[in-house]
Amino acid sequence: MGFLLMAAIGLMGFFLTRNREFTNEAMVRQALGAAAVQQLGEELAGEWPQWRGPRRDGQVDAETAARLVLGQPGQRWEITLGEGYASPVIAAGKVIALARAPGEEFLVALDPLAGSELWRHSWPCTYQNDFGKGPRASPTVAGDRVFALGADGKLVAVRLGDGQPVWQVDLLQGWGEGPPRWGFAGSPLVYADLVVVQAGSPAGIVAFDRATGVERWRSGGDPAGYSSALLVRAAGGLQLVCLSGARLMGLKPDTGELLWEQPWATHFEVNAATPLVWSATEEKGDKKESLYVFISSGYGHGGCLVGLSQRDGRWVPAVVYSNTRLRSHFGSPVRLGEMICGFDEQMVTALDWRTGEARWKKRGYKKGSLQAAGDNLLLLSEEGELSLAKPGENDLVELWRMPGFGEAGPRNKKAWTVPVAAAGIVLLRDEERLICLELAGAPKAK
């Protein structure tokens, strides 16, 4: 019976991956002739105010990147936080985290110098899952509000100053039919007076009024994936880039109107990694600007680069390439210059963004996560090893490595939450603890 099960799993993997290799030679030539590559994410004020940072691109600020090069950070404080995979955020002199305690989820604000609790707001939660009952989505800080989405679909807004509740909606009451198999995981996105989340079928992507929690629009009706939306400015206009459980799409942020779409159906609807978006201008000819979106999924599915051009005022998508060289199970990739760096299942991998060819692969991190720090990568292995490494043309060279959770390692031997580095500190989370590390030159705790 065990042999038959292994054979069935192997066959499933074969059928999932055998048709994933595709290259549009004309589109690759266009990418090879592109210059002036630039990030497009709209920035939210704060040191690290939301998922993946101010622009949701996984890029650490220049000062923090420079301090990381100086050497291993030292521990400042450690607290027992509670269950969950949601990465914390840093804004307005506070560390804000979302976690699970028995029978409830809660938002908590902490003093970054001492780790002491400043305020807490909780609500009932009955979500159950064999891979952890805690929340998955990072909070978002915008203005004087904190917005958070719990694992079973409670979307809450509280005051940043004292944690007092402003409004709360339940996505299972009129928007989604039920939580995704592994819980709601897309972090709330704030744009102007809207808060945007993936509610899942039948509502799809939903925007709520930032001040009141009243629904403003809904779009698509797609099943929820586990990815977080991006707000980008391209060709002079804003658009939301969303990866649902079924497709990649661009939406008008004011109305939810569909601008373009690219199918991306995966096994178990696990589209977890956040897309990467940038623009590039042709080096010759009419200097035409193109928009590029890279997506990647696990379970053997792989990655895909979508190129978008404007025709008659409309965005038209086309696949540049798709292959299985970067299969992001849950960790989101980053772009460093000409490279896309991320986790191909259990190997750190670098792809040439223009061609999709692998430059190198590196073992030793298992299913980890990473952020871009200047010219380097800040990596956290599944076993809790924190390291800074420099990607080259043919290899990844570590500058330093340390046990981020102490010699005993993370609880349950799993460190699945991406590290946060900003405001002179690095925040690490396992299934129970939150640890604050202090960078060289940072303000000292009293």
- The pLDDT, as a whole number, for residue 372 is 98
**Pair type for strands 204-209 and 376-380:** unpaired
Cα distance between residue 10 and residue 21, in whole Å = 18
pLDDT 10s digits, 269-302 = 899 999 999 998 877 666 678 899 999 999 889 9
pLDDT 10s digits, 170-185 = 999 999 988 899 999 9
Give the list of residues 6+ apart from residue 407 with CB closer than 8 angstroms, or none.
none
Cα distance between residue 417 and residue 408, in whole Å = 17
Mean pLDDT value of segment 331-357: 96
pTM of the complete model: 0.94
Burial (CB count <10 Å: 0-12, 13-18, 19+), residue 16: middle
* For residue 5, pLDDT beyond 90: no
- The pLDDT, as a whole number, for residue 156 is 98
Cα distance between residue 438 and residue 421, in whole Å = 10
Q: Measuring CA to CA, which residue among 373, 395, 393 is closest to residue 439? A: 373
- The pLDDT, as a whole number, for residue 281 is 84
* For residue 95, pLDDT beyond 60: yes
Tokens representing 83?
A: 């269950």
pLDDT 10s digits, 411-425 = 988 999 999 999 999
Tokens representing 358?
A: 């692998």
- The pLDDT, as a whole number, for residue 445 is 56
Q: Measuring CA to CA, which residue among 329, 272, 323 is closest to residue 302? A: 323
- The pLDDT, as a whole number, for residue 35 is 80
- The pLDDT, as a whole number, for residue 171 is 97
**Mean pLDDT of the chain, nearest integer:** 92
The domains located in the chain, with CATH, are 21-438 (2.130.10.10)
